[in-house]
A and B are shown apart, each in its own frame.
Chain A
């Protein structure tokens, strides 16, 4: 724009000033402190989970374990909390809930975005308003409905309940649909495809990024859900999820932290693996939440 900017870009970079150094120190100190505070509770859990019972009782919590490969607590916690079954159940729940909610969420968004019909705005508003209703508070009356439908104490009942879609994911899909030109639909229609085929064969494959985002958001929510799982999956021996099986440690084992910590670490391993594999998509998913409200 002006000659100043041109000159500025030609002049070689100045040496680091004192201000830059101070800023550098503040920057790394803040980031490192926060990272330290974030991992401290988890690392202390890992340390404790690797100690033998004797060690746990005789040493300080932050003292490193004698043997870093002592996985006895893990074996014991895995058996006591029935975590094998819990992982299987949580896996089944995740699979069906995610498949179901992806299907109905994207279909709903497709219809809301592509067609104008009486009730379109009403349905959008109903979903928006639903997000304001306090979920936990409503379980009092949802419970009665679940009983009447015979859905209590069954895996499929819980799956159906969790499968419903929400404003957030609809919004993400709709935003994505808006970027897919309607001419795509039109030309397919002229080629003789019906609307179901347009949705399934043309639009759905293009929707992949939005689907991934929603899978992550919903997946985190479902895997971590405790309240309803506890309420509706009452047969804790057969229908435990990872969250509810972890909760069994509260009872008689309430202060055997070397076992509890092992359970906790096992429960967060799947999340850790997914996180390491698709860090970027997860960040994108969370950032997509920026639009809510």
Chain B
């Protein structure tokens, strides 16, 4: 037996050392360093000066940084729209659609394109007089009324958000579709035999089966929108008021080389993400407080109601 334990220890150590080593080397050690840097006034090279919480205070004093937090509201809105649109499309595909793979393939493919390519595609797409303008002109818009999609500050953030929805819509859709398909198919058959219409099928069968994952995705979308980076980074380089938190941080770290301030920003964002995560867990515990799985959730509630009724009656009887 002891020999067996020894053999186990051998395999455990061998198989752990590389992944855990890499994790520490490229994640936890730099994380520690980052926290340390956030208390210094420093560049990559040269002297470092301990400044305490000055970098953190600066975050709240610099208007360009605070502005980016407002900017993330655009991405939040886009992400929520994306979740609901994906839900709508997935539901459609859940019922019968001819040439299903054909449509699905088109909607999904953007997910596989690399970020830089997407940057070029959308720079081209939005250029004055190019793709978008041509299409809008064809359906009757006056070309002179159209804004500069990437320069006009009243619209450019929406343009970027659109590119992000364009990229991820299909993958969210496939995600939801996967969850919907895992529902016992006899449920759908039973519903159609009972003469349930589409809306009833959606409301009573599809939605309960995926509400966990939809909620999760809404929340992930909200936390994710704080760290939006690629659309502005590759399409506008953060010009004309499109720089999100990470784009501004990237600039501060590499262009002006204020490593301390950039690190403080990263830690600050991490704290926000933590708080969001904490709230998310609380919401989840609240929403699904007595659920094993989604489907027997309703059963459970019914049962509880029955129990409660019984208790009430007993109470009344007692009085």
Q: Which residues of A contact B (CB under 8 A)?
A: 4-5, 8-9, 19, 23, 27-28, 30-32, 34-35, 37-42, 44-45, 48, 60-62, 104-105, 107-108, 110-111, 115, 117, 123, 126-127, 130, 132-134, 136-138, 140-145, 160-161, 163-165, 194-196, 199, 220, 223-224, 226, 242-244, 246-247, 249, 257, 260-261, 263-264, 267-268, 271-272, 274-275, 279, 282-284, 286-290, 293
- By the criterion CB–CB under 8 Å, are B174 and A130 in contact? no
Tell me which of B29, B34, B134, B234 contacts A60 (CB under 8 A).
Answer: B134
- By the criterion CB–CB under 8 Å, are A138 and B120 in contact? no
- By the criterion CB–CB under 8 Å, are B166 and A164 in contact? no
Tell me which of A104, A108, A275 contacts B105 (CB under 8 A).
Answer: A275
Q: Which A residue's beta carbon lies closest to that of B170? A: A38
Q: Given A8-B194, A271-B112, 10 more contacts at CB 8 Å?
A: A30-B89, A34-B106, A35-B107, A38-B170, A40-B135, A41-B166, A111-B16, A134-B273, A137-B263, A138-B266
- By the criterion CB–CB under 8 Å, are A257 and B26 in contact? no
Q: Which A residue's beta carbon lies closest to that of B167? A: A38
- By the criterion CB–CB under 8 Å, are A140 and B116 in contact? no
Tell me which of B16, B26, B227 contacts A164 (CB under 8 A).
Answer: B26
- By the criterion CB–CB under 8 Å, are A163 and B101 in contact? no
Given the complex of chains A and B, what is the CA–CA distance between A108 and B17 in angstroms? Answer: 9
Number of A-B contacts (CB under 8 A): 264
Tell me which of A45, A107, A130, A165 contacts B121 (CB under 8 A).
Answer: A45
B residues 181-216 in Cβ contact with A at 8 Å: 190, 193-195, 197-198, 213, 216
Given the complex of chains A and B, what is the CA–CA distance between A60 and B44 in angstroms? Answer: 48
Interface centre among B7, B23, B190, B198 (most CB of A within 10 A): B23
**Residues of chain A within 8 A of B262, CB atoms compared:** 137, 140
- By the criterion CB–CB under 8 Å, are A111 and B12 in contact? yes
Secondary structure at the B interface, as helix, strand, loop or mixed, is helix
Tell me which of B16, B27, B250, B266 contacts A108 (CB under 8 A).
Answer: B16
Given the complex of chains A and B, what is the CA–CA distance between A9 and B195 in angstroms? Answer: 10
B179: CB under 8 A from chain A? yes
B20: CB under 8 A from chain A? yes
Distance of B104 from chain A, by nearest CB (Å): 8
Given the complex of chains A and B, what is the CA–CA distance between A141 and B37 in angstroms? Answer: 8
- By the criterion CB–CB under 8 Å, are B19 and A257 in contact? no
**Residues of chain B within 8 A of A110, CB atoms compared:** 15
- By the criterion CB–CB under 8 Å, are A31 and B16 in contact? no
B residues 38-90 in Cβ contact with A at 8 Å: 44, 85, 88-89
**Residues of chain A within 8 A of B198, CB atoms compared:** 23
Contact with A along B2-17 (1 / 0, CB 8 A): 0000011111101110
- 15 A-B pairs whose Cβ atoms sit less than 8 Å apart in the complex: A31-B89, A38-B169, A41-B166, A44-B130, A61-B129, A115-B8, A123-B16, A134-B273, A136-B229, A140-B37, A194-B7, A195-B11, A261-B120, A268-B112, A274-B112
Given the complex of chains A and B, what is the CA–CA distance between A259 and B102 in angstroms? Answer: 29
Tell me which of A48, A61, A243, A272 contacts B115 (CB under 8 A).
Answer: A243
**Residues of chain A within 8 A of B9, CB atoms compared:** 117
Asked, given contacts A140-B259, A287-B178, A287-B179, whether A133 binds B124 with beta carbons under 8 Å apart, the answer is no
Distance of B124 from chain A, by nearest CB (Å): 5
Distance of B22 from chain A, by nearest CB (Å): 4
Q: Which 5 A-B pairs have the closest CB atoms?
A: A287-B178, A137-B266, A224-B114, A141-B33, A195-B11
Given the complex of chains A and B, what is the CA–CA distance between A136 and B7 in angstroms? Answer: 40
- By the criterion CB–CB under 8 Å, are A108 and B15 in contact? yes
**Residues of chain B within 8 A of A282, CB atoms compared:** 108, 112
**Residues of chain B within 8 A of A37, CB atoms compared:** 166
Q: Which A residue's beta carbon lies closest to that of B226? A: A134
Q: Which A residue's beta carbon lies closest to that of B126? A: A41
B residues 143-187 in Cβ contact with A at 8 Å: 166, 169-171, 174-175, 177-179
